[in-house]
Amino acid sequence: MVLALLFASHLAKAQDISVVRKLSFGTIAIIDQNSVGTVTIEPNVRPQTSSNILFVEFGHAAEILLTDFPRNRQISVQSTVYNDWFGYWNLGASDTFQLTELYHEKAIYTDSVGSGQFKVGGQLRFAGNGKSLSDGVQTLNVEIILSY
């Protein structure tokens, strides 16, 4: 009976998804508040900005680690952005920064022990609406769906 319980608990072991590093658009300086601009962070590519925005500190892609997934399996990766406008009360304007896109692989493969990893980047759009801005940090939730 004990062996059966141990075996059953091993089968019920849940997959683990860890955010090793969160997506960051870095610290930016906006040259003209009346001009639209973008910050683009793509996995494994140097961060880029449009001519209206400069990096004070570079950002980086998120790093996601999967463990205890099925071995040697293809995992499909899909993402959805909810409430894509940044800039609530602490940045001074609710329609100034927008997450327009997420960048990641469409599929990853787990290894022989059921582990895998992938990176997630994104594009941040500055509206250029002339609104006064304050220094601040803002977060936004996204949904990433893994299916196999």
Q: Where are the alpha helices (DSSP H) in the chain?
A: 2-11
Between 74 and 51, where is the model more confident?
74
- Distances in Å between the Cα of 42 and the Cα atoms of 25, 91, 93, 146 are 10, 25, 26, 20
pLDDT tens, residue by residue, 75-104: 999 998 876 666 544 555 567 888 889 999
pTM comes to 0.82
User: 3-class DSSP state for residue 6?
Assistant: helix
Quick one: 39 exposed, middle or buried, by C-beta within 10 A (0-12, 13-18, 19+)? buried
Q: Which two tokens stand for residue 125?
A: 């759009």
For the residues 57-72, what does the mean pLDDT come to?
A: 95
Q: Could you tell me the residue ranges of all domains in the chain? A: 15-147
User: Per-residue pLDDT for 71 more than 70?
Assistant: yes
User: Per-residue pLDDT for 5 more than 50?
Assistant: no
Average confidence score pLDDT of the chain: 83
Sign for the CA dihedral angle at 46, 91, 18, 110 comes to negative
CATH class given for the domain over 15-147: mainly beta
User: Distance between CA 33 and CA 85 in Å, rounded?
Assistant: 17
Q: Which two tokens stand for residue 109?
A: 């493969």
pLDDT (0 to 100) of residue 141: 78
User: Distance between CA 130 and CA 132 in Å, rounded?
Assistant: 6
